[in-house]
Amino acid sequence: MRAFLVFLALLLVSPAAYGKDRDGDIDHQIMRGRAAQAVIWGMAAVNTDLMLQAAKKAGAKENEVVFWSRPPDWRNQTLTPNPDAVYFMVFFNTKDGPVVIDVPPAGADGSFTGNIDDIWQMALEDVGKLGVDKGAGGKFVVTPPGYSGKVPDGFSALPARTYSGYALIRSEPPSHSDADIAKAVAYGKKLKVYPLAAATNPPATRYTDATDDIFEATIPYDVRFFRSLARVVDEQPWLERDKAMIDPLKSIGIEKGKPFKPDSKLEVALSAGAGDAHRWLDRKLPTAFEPYFPNTHWAVPASPDLVKAGSNGYSDADIYPTDARAITYSIGYVGIKRLGTGQFYLLSAADRKGRELDGGRRYRLHVPADAPAHQYWSVTAYSRKTHGLIKNVERASRSSQLTDLVKNADGSVDIYFGPKPPPGKEANWVPTKKGENFELLFRLYAPTKALFEKTWTLPDVERVK
């Protein structure tokens, strides 16, 4: 009898106790859930927009070139950037007509490894020495959605389904010497951008050096994410595959042609949903990718479903891996049309025993001799929290480009990670920070068949005393 009376009192006091949530509670739950799903769905495009906004803050404009006059350091807070290349980026916008990205031929003065993507980071083409042009260079014309005009002879059309996107162009120095870096920068400035309408007499390309700027483009898991997403939705055409998102986004204040002005109540729900998405992505990440080498934690940071869908422009009617896309583009950027031709990436956030990499401890990575890369290999440490370069450290990577890298007698190399270098190992040391977990990205540029046949393997990182 007493239990029944307690139950009856609960019914009278709290309608939610028998399944009728109060309107405010259910509204918050729905908005929070839709916000989390919007983060997962919109990750790749927001990733691009954040880099564009950082470029604008540095003084660059669309259809220009923003570059780094030396390999990036921690001030470049994009997701997992390469601190062993000289970066040139073009953020294009074709609303006023097709845009030409004019890539110079490779030669004794330099070469590029480059990718041109739409705003969703779908690869339009790979360019440079290992791209479609095979180092011959070319005039690549990004055309806007629905474009029916003719591209002149001698130009290569890249039809895009969005107005905006970017080209990531890496000018590859053979070493980090001042002379080689200067040469890579000079070659990079042969990259040109101009309207197709002005192709017969192109205007001078404007270059903005962002080297000393804090180029902040890591993912903000709060209302700032939705401001960026609202900008994308307003400025880009709806793709047929994504029309199911129109109403859910409208319900959280994101609607084409209208300003994004969430009230304080909606901001709370949006930030809560973004936090939910962040925790979900963070939990999924350690097991999201299959190990590339047997019995190791090194993995290609893209699922087979995403690689398959991305390679055909999501044209398969039965697959649309938005979850896998969100995981990959929450930790990195750039879409590659021919994965493994120009570059190959391996990610690890665990040591040989499966423990998270702790920035307060010391580790060793043994890189066996004859690494399968025609150009170079490198390994870089990133913050596990932000997936950007670890802030305020003197360097982020070690690379086979370095003349002071110490090799073992058999040609192998031992790379050390930790807050302090082991005695006598300073040249082979990458600093980490106590109290901050980290992850590693191993890059191979111009990989060879030994990598794909796995006759060469990269062992796990090992904790050392």
pLDDT at 4: 43
pLDDT at 317: 86
Note whether 155 and 274 are same-domain residues: no
Q: Give the percent of the chain with pLDDT over 90.
A: 89
pLDDT at 18: 33
Q: Say how many C-beta atoms besides its own lie within 10 A of residue 23's C-beta.
A: 8
pLDDT at 6: 42
Q: What is the pTM (predicted TM-score) of this model?
A: 0.92
Note whether 372 and 453 are same-domain residues: yes
247, 262, 284 - which closes a domain: 284
Distances (CA, A) of 165 to 99, 127, 378, 384: 11, 15, 27, 27
212, 230, 260 - which closes a domain: 212
Note whether 267 and 186 are same-domain residues: no
Domain carrying residue 278: 2-52+219-284
- Does pLDDT of 260 surpass 90? yes
- Closest listed residue to residue 185, CA positions, set 276, 264, 122, 110: 110
- Does pLDDT of 140 surpass 90? yes
Note whether 203 and 340 are same-domain residues: no
Note whether 274 and 168 are same-domain residues: no
CA dihedral 119, 124, 130, 133 (to 10 degrees): -130
Note whether 66 and 150 are same-domain residues: yes
User: The domain that contains 108 carries what CATH number?
Assistant: 2.60.40.1610
User: The domain that contains 309 carries what CATH number?
Assistant: 2.60.120.600
Rounded mean pLDDT, 286-297: 94
Note whether 32 and 167 are same-domain residues: no
pLDDT at 24: 62
Rounded mean pLDDT, 219-247: 97
Contacts of 424 (CB under 8 A, 6+ apart): none
**What is the rounded CA–CA span in Å between residue 169 and residue 172?**
9
pLDDT bin (cut points 50, 70, 90) of residue 14 is very low
pLDDT at 201: 97
Note whether 447 and 313 are same-domain residues: yes
Q: What pLDDT digit, counting tens, does each position of 409-450 carry? A: 999 999 999 999 999 999 999 999 999 999 999 999 999 999
Note whether 107 and 161 are same-domain residues: yes
pLDDT at 465: 84
- Does pLDDT of 286 surpass 60? yes
β-bridge mates for residue 193, sequence order: 101
Contacts of 465 (CB under 8 A, 6+ apart): 362
* Residue in this structure with the two tokens 């803050």, named with its chain if needed: 57
Note whether 300 and 323 are same-domain residues: yes
179, 212, 245 - which closes a domain: 212
pLDDT at 126: 95
Note whether 31 and 174 are same-domain residues: no
- Does pLDDT of 13 surpass 60? no
Note whether 172 and 230 are same-domain residues: no
**What is the rounded CA–CA span in Å between residue 182 and residue 134?**
24
pLDDT at 144: 98
pLDDT at 23: 52
- Does pLDDT of 385 surpass 70? yes
Give the total number of structural domains in the chain. 3
